[in-house]
Amino acid sequence: MRAHTEYLTFRTPKPRQYVNISGQVEQALAKSGIQEGMILISAMHITAGVWVNDAEEGLLADIDEWLEKLAPFREDYRHHRTGETNGDSHLKSLLVHHQVIVPVTGGRLDLGPWQQVYYAEFDGQRSKRVIIKVMGE
């Protein structure tokens, strides 16, 4: 088995933003030369996430609204007693998860017809990383 690792760095201009990273994941896969295996995409921060879903603006707005409803910004989170103000960002990250694994078949991401890989930022405006780890033959 071979492995190839790359890192992406994000510094989003908005505190909450969703970035389609499918192209960057495909580029990492192409560099790896791996034809059959798996690719792990993982946010390396506790207020960010990674998901696979449709690249449709209305859906992204619905997801954002849903996340805000489930984990709204509030000033009374216990986490804020530490001096932080991002308690909701941690909860949103838990809801979307911090990583995904995508199968690799024939040297390509084996996704459904509408599926795309997204980086979800919930506490932006500072640098954060994503690891892409391609494993296989």
Q: Note the pLDDT of residue 75.
A: 93
CA distance 70 to 58: 18
- Per residue in 44-99, pLDDT (tens digit) is 999 999 999 999 999 999 999 999 999 999 999 999 999 999 999 999 999 999 99
Q: Which of 135, 134, 122 is nearest to 24 (CA)?
A: 134
Percent of the chain with pLDDT over 70: 100
Q: Note the pLDDT of residue 122.
A: 97
Q: Note the pLDDT of residue 125.
A: 87
CA distance 72 to 13: 20
Q: Where are the beta strands (DSSP E) in 21-81?
A: 37-43, 48-54
Token readout for 98 is 């911090």
Q: Note the pLDDT of residue 57.
A: 95
Domains observed in the chain: 2-73+86-136 (2.60.120.460)
CB 39 within 8 A of CB 102: yes
